[in-house]
A and B are shown apart, each in its own frame.
Chain A
Amino acid sequence: MPVYVENRQIVVPGDPIADKNRFTVEGKVYERNGKYYSKVLGVVFVDRDSRKVNVVTLKGKYIPKPGDVVIGKVVEVGLTNWIVDINSPYPAVLPLTEVYSKPTSIARNELSKILDVGDIIAAKIISFDYARDPLITIKESRLGKVKKGLLVEVSPSKIPRVIGRKGSMISMIKEMLNVDLLVGQNGRIVIIGDDKDRVELAALVIKKIEREAHTSGLTDRVKEFITVKLSQIGGGD
């Protein structure tokens, strides 16, 4: 038997997943003596048609990846940069050159006028190689200081589920609840909307997705959940 697990099975570190060469094994696995074993507490996705097995972790910290959009919190204002907490073991560095494109000379006390400790920002990771702390930028559209919204934190490994296949889940929440979502790959989500009830409902929905991320048929269940809850809050809607 080349595969030792079923689709959507929960695995723990050390569980055998599949033999080498018969299947393409991806995700959080390691190889030993021609066999793949799980590295983490996770869930396995087995696709017998395309002969692919993927082990996805259920928990864990965010490891920065270049190109990811993250939601960060400014924790320190330096001389020419800001230190930003991005919910990861590695604090991110936002240099002044990634805030202004033109060469500028700004005194230290001026820096905190642009971004101060406690500010929430949406940023993109430029580079990260473990040897140095990740560099981030806010020089793109949609990036920068987040002025209003509700910040929700989920496990970073559940973010793909919140987004859904080709963004299906996220666009459904946006449409049904008429809110805007800013999703960071580091597990932080900002919900922006005018109606307080709907923003709170969106937070509930995200928490539900996090809890049930490893189950199947989630999109349909979330749709039903939103419909039921909406009828409860929006009497005059």
Chain B
Amino acid sequence: MKGNIKLIDENGKRVDGRYPNEMRRLRIEAGVLKNADGSALVELGNNKILVAVYGPHEAIPKYVAEPDRAVIRCRYSMAPFSVDERKSPNPSRREIELSMVIRQALEPAVFLNEYPRTMIDVFIEVLEADGGTRTASITAAAVALADAGIAMRDLVSAIAIGKVDGRLVVDLNGIEDQYGEGDMPIAMMPQLNYVTLFQADGVFTPQEIEEAFRMVSDPIKKVYREQKKALKKKYEEVVEEVEKNE
């Protein structure tokens, strides 16, 4: 099957009508859960991801506590209804790995030393999946962490660069991910210009990787702007409301 499917048409458009450097529609909402200390809902195209952050709180079990820093416990989990065919609710090998990968992408951004002996819980629930859930999860988790009032160096914004029909494209969807030639998720701290996650699945030449990093800066900035907007929205609405009543 691979390679036989045409993913870019003669007009240079992709399966869902996007241009190669175009990302899907992104919507971020912060503070959607009342019980959680911080939360975020991210919609990237058809992906729908809900993140809840609890903490910092007492480390459970006690022996995992570190004397000089907080530990992040991250759980990435896909809902049974998130994909076409029912997914078993048990954590799969892929989910366990992604939990670790996402945690490692977030850790450099958090001032863990500010909360010694504590634990920060990050629960990621994928409600609907359509390619690029790990990048959307990182984007959502960074917003939820900031929404919880946790001290951070910067937000973390993530987007994938992929290779379909021999061309580099931004933000793969499910079909492109399945039938394309490669997927390269990248997470960055946009203000500091640090990369916190870089994976590649597929074959890329060194030139293509350099090109991918050039391509990724614009979409990353776009994700970052949306994250900032979502975080500020709740508070700025109150300011507007107050000013209107005066």
Chain A residues, Cβ within 8 Å of B151: 13, 28, 39-40
Chain A residues, Cβ within 8 Å of B58: 89-91
Chain A residues, Cβ within 8 Å of B117: 89-90, 130
Chain A residues, Cβ within 8 Å of B246: 217
Residue A161 lies at the interface, judged by CB distance under 8 Å to chain B:
no
Chain B residues, Cβ within 8 Å of A60: 148-150
Q: Place the interface of chain A in its size category.
A: 20 to 34
Q: How far, in angstroms, from A13 to B235 measured CA to CA in the complex?
A: 15
Q: How far, in angstroms, from A221 to B109 measured CA to CA in the complex?
A: 38
Per the 8 Å Cβ criterion, residues 61-94 of A in contact with B are 61, 89-91
Which of these, B148, B191, B238, contacts A14 with CB under 8 Å?
B191
Chain A residues, Cβ within 8 Å of B55: 61, 89
Residue B1 lies at the interface, judged by CB distance under 8 Å to chain A:
no
Residue A59 lies at the interface, judged by CB distance under 8 Å to chain B:
yes
Which of these, B37, B116, B148, B239, contacts A215 with CB under 8 Å?
B239
Residue B153 lies at the interface, judged by CB distance under 8 Å to chain A:
yes
Q: Are A13 and B155 in contact (CB under 8 A)?
A: yes
Q: Are A59 and B238 in contact (CB under 8 A)?
A: no
Q: Which residue of A lies closest to B243 (CB)?
A: A215
Q: Are B155 and A12 in contact (CB under 8 A)?
A: yes
CB-based closest 6 A-B pairs: A60-B149, A59-B149, A14-B154, A13-B152, A14-B191, A89-B118
Q: Nearest Cβ distance between residue A24 and chain B, in whole angstroms? A: 20
Residue B211 lies at the interface, judged by CB distance under 8 Å to chain A:
no
Per the 8 Å Cβ criterion, residues 31-45 of A in contact with B are 32, 37, 39-41, 43
Per the 8 Å Cβ criterion, residues 1-59 of A in contact with B are 8, 10, 12-16, 28, 30, 32, 37, 39-41, 43, 57-59
Known A40-B151, A89-B55: A12·B38 in contact at CB below 8 Å: no
Q: Are B235 and A12 in contact (CB under 8 A)?
A: no
Residue B27 lies at the interface, judged by CB distance under 8 Å to chain A:
no
Per the 8 Å Cβ criterion, residues 117-144 of A in contact with B are 130-131
Interchain Cβ contacts under 8 Å between A and B, 25 examples: A10-B235, A10-B236, A12-B155, A13-B151, A13-B153, A14-B189, A14-B190, A14-B192, A37-B154, A39-B111, A39-B151, A40-B150, A40-B151, A43-B235, A61-B55, A89-B58, A89-B117, A90-B117, A90-B118, A91-B58, A131-B67, A211-B238, A212-B238, A215-B242, A221-B242
Known A12-B231, A13-B154, A214-B235: A89·B115 in contact at CB below 8 Å: yes
Which of these, B56, B152, B227, contacts A61 with CB under 8 Å?
B56
Q: Nearest Cβ distance between residue A89 and chain B, in whole angstroms? A: 4
Q: Nearest Cβ distance between residue B54 and chain A, in whole angstroms? A: 10
Chain B residues, Cβ within 8 Å of A61: 37, 55-57, 149
Q: Nearest Cβ distance between residue B66 and chain A, in whole angstroms? A: 12
Q: Nearest Cβ distance between residue A166 and chain B, in whole angstroms? A: 23
Residue A186 lies at the interface, judged by CB distance under 8 Å to chain B:
no
Residue A157 lies at the interface, judged by CB distance under 8 Å to chain B:
yes
Residue B147 lies at the interface, judged by CB distance under 8 Å to chain A:
yes
Per the 8 Å Cβ criterion, residues 49-79 of B in contact with A are 55-58, 67
Residue B13 lies at the interface, judged by CB distance under 8 Å to chain A:
no
Q: How far, in angstroms, from A221 to B55 measured CA to CA in the complex?
A: 33
Taking A61-B57, A214-B235 as given, write out 20 further A-B residue pairs in contact, using a Cβ cutoff of 8 Å, ordered by the A residue number.
A10-B231, A10-B235, A12-B146, A12-B231, A13-B109, A14-B153, A14-B155, A14-B189, A16-B191, A28-B151, A39-B152, A59-B149, A60-B150, A61-B55, A61-B56, A157-B149, A214-B238, A215-B238, A215-B239, A217-B246
